[in-house]
């Protein structure tokens, strides 16, 4: 069955992973800008990274018949350095009109600091100025609940940002209702250790009737599985899901959200 991987950090994956994902039915991968595993020394590092995700990765994906899209930002882990963050945000206009760029992301919070919040709001302002979609990262583990609430509150200060054009990612059982009840889309990330297992994801999908939710592997350089989405689709079959409802989550939902950008053509 065909599916969309709406959140994968392919710069940190091998070409073999593209092949495995294509064989599993992946038709499109969307790559949010993220932390490299270390703090970059200057905005020049981000310039090269933005070139990589807007120019090189689409070509690597195309070799396997996969469409590649991306999102731009400085991630919250590096947002404590305000000068660096300002310099990186200033680069975004050079790249935002490139063909595969869907919007601003994955912005958000990491440790819920004032500087992170300030840079988050600057990114949202850029999204508002360019009428771009927004993909939001919520903090890890014990910081997720507080960060999710701060993010939702901060977005209320941007009346031109429509909730249906914002996806708040990495939700879990204690944050999904808060996100969806405010009108945003929600992303469920399938990780072998942290975040969510396939069965927990399916529980949440059933609880919320799969409305305005996508699921993703967020595969990167850490413990993660680029085939987490098709494996969860298999778990859905075992739990009695119809092919139509599986397709709704794995294909229709991400297509509906990202299709709000005219650049997303599936």
* Window 96-135: residues binding another protein (CB under 8 A): 110-117
**Segment near another protein (CB under 8 A); pick from 12-20, 48-56, 208-216, 226-234:** 208-216
Binds another protein (CB under 8 A): choice among 82, 129, 199, 266: 199
Tell me how far apart the alpha carbons of residues 190 and 257 are, in angstroms, rounded to a whole number.
19
Among 33, 210, 213, 233, binds another protein (CB under 8 A): 210
- Position 54 contacts another protein (CB under 8 A): no
Classify the phi-psi angles of 187: left when phi > 0, otherwise alpha if psi is within -120 to 50, otherwise beta. Answer: beta
Contact call for residue 14 and another protein (CB under 8 A): no
Strand partners, 221: none
User: For residues 22 and 252, which CB has a smaller minimum distance to another protein in the complex?
Assistant: 252
Contact 129, 161 (CB under 8 A): no
Q: How far apart are CA 17 and CA 13, in angstroms?
A: 6
CA distance 108 to 173: 19
CB 55 to another protein: min, Å: 29
Confirm if 114 and 85 have CB atoms less than 8 A apart: no
User: For another protein, which is the closer residue by CB, 97 or 142?
Assistant: 142
| Interface pick for another protein out of 13, 68, 137, 144 (rule CB under 8 A) | 144
Closer by beta carbon to another protein, 20 or else 162: 162
What's the token pair of residue 73? 């930002």
Cα gap 167→258, rounded to integer Å: 10
Q: What are phi and psi of 17, to 5 degrees?
A: -65, -40
Q: Does 200 interact with another protein (rule: CB under 8 A)?
A: yes
The tokens for 12 are 């940190």
DSSP string, 28-48: EEEE-----SS--SSHHHHHH
Burial class (CB in 10 A: 0-12, 13-18, 19+), 156: exposed
Does residue number 203 form part of the binding site for another protein (CB under 8 A)?
yes
Q: Which stretch binds another protein (CB under 8 A): 15-23, 49-57, 96-104, 236-244?
A: 236-244
Choices 7-15, 21-29, 93-101, 206-214; region in contact with another protein by CB under 8 A: 206-214
Contact stretch for another protein (CB under 8 A) within 9-17, 26-34, 57-65, 195-203: 195-203
Instruction: Determine, following the binding rule CB under 8 A, whether residue 255 of this chain makes contact with another protein.
Output: no
Name the residue nearer to another protein (CB basis): 68 or 123. 123
* Beta partners for residue 103, in sequence order: 71, 133
Complex with another protein: residue 118 or 160, whichever CB lies closer: 118
Rounded to the nearest 5°, which phi and psi values hold at 170? Answer: 65, 35
Among residues 42, 206, 265, 266, the one that binds another protein under rule CB under 8 A: 206
Residues of this chain that bind another protein (CB under 8 A): 77, 80, 110-117, 139-146, 149-150, 172-174, 194, 199-200, 203, 206, 209-211, 236, 238-242, 244-245, 248, 252, 256
């Amino acid at each position: 069955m065909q599916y969309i991987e709406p959140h994968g950090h392919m710069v940190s994956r091998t070409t073999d992973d593209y092949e495995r994902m294509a064989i599993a039915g992946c038709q499109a991968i969307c790559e949010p800008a993220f932390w490299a595993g270390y703090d970059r020394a200057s905005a020049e590092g981000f310039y090269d990274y933005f070139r990589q995700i807007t120019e090189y990765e689409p070509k690597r994906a195309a070799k396997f018949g996969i469409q590649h899209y991306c999102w731009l930002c400085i991630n919250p882990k590096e947002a404590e350095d305000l000068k660096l963050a300002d310099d990186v945000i200033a680069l975004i206009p050079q790249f935002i009109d490139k063909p595969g760029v869907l919007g601003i992301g994955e912005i958000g919070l990491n440790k819920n600091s004032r500087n992170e919040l300030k840079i988050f709001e600057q990114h949202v302002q850029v999204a508002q100025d360019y009428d771009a979609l927004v993909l939001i990262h919520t903090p890890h583990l014990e910081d997720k609940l507080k960060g999710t609430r701060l993010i939702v509150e901060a977005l209320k200060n941007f009346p031109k940002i429509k909730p249906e054009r914002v996806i708040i990612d990495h939700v879990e059982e204690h944050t999904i209702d808060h996100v969806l009840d405010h009108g945003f889309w929600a992303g469920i990330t399938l990780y072998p250790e942290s975040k969510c297992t396939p069965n927990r994801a399916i529980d949440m999908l059933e609880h919320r009737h799969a409305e305005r939710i996508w699921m993703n592997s967020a595969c990167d350089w850490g413990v993660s599985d680029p085939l987490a989405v098709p494996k969860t689709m298999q778990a859905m079959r075992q739990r009695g899901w119809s092919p139509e409802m599986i397709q709704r989550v794995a294909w229709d939902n991400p297509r509906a959200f990202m299709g709000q950008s005219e650049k997303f053509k599936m």
